[in-house]
Amino acid sequence: MTRVRIPPTLRNEVGGERELAGAGETVREVLADISGRYPALEAQLFEDGDLAPFVNVYLGGEDVRTLDGLDTRVNGSSVILLPAMAGGC
């Protein structure tokens, strides 16, 4: 299972969880596994089957856009979901 960090702005979609575990060989499979359980999360993360452009996904600290995208193999690393935050207030 791969650990997936849920940012505060997406916790309402996953029942308040800060971290979830997902099954799968690739980032796509892991996120699909979690989204299957939390359809509201899927609606925020994906657009037309691809990652929404405003959500950054990191595997082992590296942006998956610089790896093989959603097809990057997880290989035991953990995933961080990260949308931008504006607040300086």
Partner 1 sequence: MATYRELLAEVKLRIDEVGATAAHERHGEALFVDVREREEWEEGAVPGAVHVSRGQLESRIEGLVPDRSRELVLYCAGGSRSAFATKALQELGYENVVSLAGGFTDWKRNGFPIETPRSLTPDQRRRYSRHLLIPEVGEAGQERLLGGRVLLIGAGGLGSPASLYLAAAGVGTLGIVDADVVDDSNLQRQIVHSTESLGEPKVLSAKRALEALNPDVVVKTYEERLTSENVERILGEGWDVIVDGADNFPTRYLVNDASVWHGIPVVHGSIYRFEGQVTVFNPGEGPCYRCLFPTPPPPELAPSCAEGGVLGVLPGIVGSLQANEALKLVLGIGETLQGRLLLLDALGTTVDEVSVQRDPACPVCGEHPTVTEYVDYVEFCAGARA
Among residue numbers 34 through 73, which ones bind partner 1 (CB under 8 A)?
44, 52-56, 58, 61-63, 66
- Residue 77 touches partner 1, criterion: CB under 8 A: no
The nearest distance, CB 27 to partner 1, in angstroms, is: 14
How far apart, in Å, are the Cα atoms of 69 and each of 11, 17, 31? 23, 25, 12
| Least gap, CB of 32 to partner 1 (angstroms) | 20
Rule CB under 8 A: say whether 76 interacts with partner 1.
no
Q: How far apart are the first and last CA of the chain?
A: 37
Would you say 16 and 38 are in contact if contact means Cβ atoms under 8 Å apart?
A: no
